[in-house]
Structure 1
Amino acid sequence: MNGRTTVAHRILQFNEELAGTTLELPPGFTVINPFSGPQQERVCEVTTAFYHKYYDDHEPRRLVLGSSPARRGTAVTGVPFEDAKLLESETGVDVDGYAVSRPSAGFLHDVIRRYGGRDRFYADFVMSFVCPLGLVRTNPKGNEVNCNYYENKKLLELLRSFLVDTLERQLAFGTDTSVCYCIGSGENFKFLSKVNEGQRFFQRIVPLEHPRFITQYNREREEEFAEKYLSALRGEGD
C-alpha cells in the first residue's frame, strides 16, 4: 500500500485512467463511460466530493463488486450504486436532471443504513464493478438497453483482458483481499470465481443475490435477503 496517497486519491486516479480507456466491442454494443462522457465535469465534481468525504484515509477496505454500471445509474453519477438524489443530499453537489431512483440502490441503501450508516459502511467497504464501465446493446427495436459483460460470448472474449486488468488495479486501492462480496450470484459470481482461480486476487468470494432480482421478483422476501447481506458483510458465520 502506498502510504503517501489516500484511498480516495487512488480511486479517483483509477477513474481518471478509465476516462482514457477505449474498448473494442462487437457490432451493436456500446460503452458508456461517465468519466469521459458529456457530463464528465459534473461526474468529476460528484466523485471527488464523495470519495474525499468517505475515503480520505489509508485504511484497508473490502470490495463489493457488481457486474457493470447501469446506463441511468452509476454510468451517470460515476459512484457505484449511489442514486443521484441521494448523492446530491450527501455531497451537496447539484445533480438535477439525473435523479433517477433505482430500486437496486434503494435496497442497498437500506442495507447500508442497517449496517450502521454510510460513515461506518464506507469505512469498511468499497463498492465497484467487475466491469467498471457501462455497457449497452441495441435491441431489435433500435433502442439502447442495459447489457452485462457476460451476456454475449464475443463481448466477453473482447473484454476479458480489460476485466482482469481492472480487477487487479482495484486491489491497489489498498484492498483487504481476505474476502470479496459479489453482487450477482449467477453469471457475475461464476466469472469472478473463474478469474480468481487463476489470479488468486481474493482468498474467498461470497455471492449475494442482485438487488434487482430481489426487488423485482422476490419483494416478499426482501427482509430475508437484507439479513443475508448484513450477516455476510458482518462476517457472521465465517
Structure 2
Amino acid sequence: MSFADKVIKYFNGLKTPELNLNQTELLNPYSSKEVKEIVRKFFRKFYDDDNERIFIIGINPGRFGGGLTGISFTDPVALREQCGIENNLGNQKELSSKFIYSVAIRFGGVEKFFSKVFLTALYPFALLKKGKNYNYYDDKVLAEYLKSEIVKNIKSQIKFSAYRDFAILLGKKNAIYFEPLNSEYKFFKKIIVVEHPRYIMQYKLKNADTYINKYIESINSLKF
C-alpha cells in the first residue's frame, strides 16, 4: 500500500468516540462524505508513493482548519487555492493554515513540501469548549483521559511511512506532553520543538519570516 492508501484508510475509517468530560465537545470531520472525498483527493494528489515523510505534529485540529476539511492545518480556502481541491466548506480562513502554507510556498511550493512532510496532530479530532477551539492539554483530566487514544493515534500513523529519526512538534506545551510518551514508546529518536503557528500569527506576526525560516531549517535537518 502507498502512503496515500494507508492515510485514506485510516482517516476515513475513524469513528466518532464518546466524550463526556467537562463540557468538552468533539468534532469528527471524517464522518462527512465530502470530507472523505477531500481526503481521498488530497492524499492521492500529494502522497501517492512509498516515500518516508517527516512528521510535523500539532495539538488537535482547529474547527476552521483540519477540524473542518480533514486535512491538518488546511482551511477550505487553502485547500482550494493552494492545493487545487474544490470544496463546498465555505471561505473561512484559519491563522495556522495561513502560516503553514507560507512555509510551504517558501519551501518551494506545496508539491515539494508535501513530498517531504506529513502534517498531523497528536489527537485527530477537533475539541471545543463553549464553541471555541480547545487544546487537549488545557485540562489535565482531559489530557490524561485522551492519553491512550493519542498513543494509539501515533502508533497507527507512523505506519504510514514516518521518518523515525526525528519529528517536529508544534508548541512547547504539546512537546512537554508528548516527550515522555515518545521516550516510553520510542516513536521517534528525536523531537524538534518549534513555536505553534497560531502563537506566531497572534503574538509574533512581525517576526513571521524568522519563524518560517526556523520551520524550514528544522525540516532541512534531514538532508534530502
- TM-score normalised by structure 1 residue count: 0.89
Which residue of 4, 15, 32 corresponds with 1:8?
4
Give the CA deviation at 1:91: 5.5
Output the amino acid matched with 2:25.
T
- TM-score normalised by structure 2 residue count: 0.94
Q: How does 1:75-224 map to 2 (within 5 A)?
A: 75-89=67-81, 92-138=84-130, 144-184=131-171, 186-224=172-210
Residues in 2 aligned to 1:54 and 1:47: alpha-carbon distance in whole angstroms: 11
Residues in 1 aligned to 2:96 and 2:11: alpha-carbon distance in whole angstroms: 22
Output the amino acid matched with 1:11.
V
Give the CA deviation at 1:79: 0.5
Question: Which position in structure 1 is the counterpart of 2:54?
Answer: 62
Give the CA deviation at 1:31: 0.9
Question: Which position in structure 1 is the counterpart of 2:21?
Answer: 26
Question: Can you give the 5+ residue segments of structure 1 that lack an aligned partner in the other structure?
Answer: 139-143
Output the amino acid matched with 1:7.
F
Give the CA deviation at 1:227: 1.2
Question: Can you give the 5+ residue segments of structure 2 that lack an aligned partner in the other structure?
Answer: none
Q: Secondary structure at the match of 2:118?
A: strand
Question: Which position in structure 2 is the counterpart of 1:141?
Answer: none
Give the CA deviation at 1:94: 3.4
Output the amino acid matched with 1:235.
S
Give the CA deviation at 1:189: 0.7
Asked if the contact 1:35/1:44 (under 8 Å) is kept, the reply is yes
Q: Secondary structure at the match of 1:98?
A: coil
Identity %: 27
Output the amino acid matched with 1:147.
Y
Q: Secondary structure at the match of 1:172?
A: helix
Residues in 2 aligned to 1:155 and 1:196: alpha-carbon distance in whole angstroms: 19
Asked if the contact 1:46/1:91 (under 8 Å) is kept, the reply is no
Residues in 1 aligned to 2:199 and 2:119: alpha-carbon distance in whole angstroms: 18
Asked if the contact 2:68/2:75 (under 8 Å) is kept, the reply is no
Residues in 1 aligned to 2:178 and 2:121: alpha-carbon distance in whole angstroms: 11
Residues in 1 aligned to 2:87 and 2:162: alpha-carbon distance in whole angstroms: 29
- Residue 236 and residue 174 in structure 1: after superposition, are their counterparts in 2 closer, same or farther (change >3 A)? closer
Output the amino acid matched with 2:178.
L
Residues in 1 aligned to 2:95 and 2:26: alpha-carbon distance in whole angstroms: 23
Give the CA deviation at 1:97: 4.4
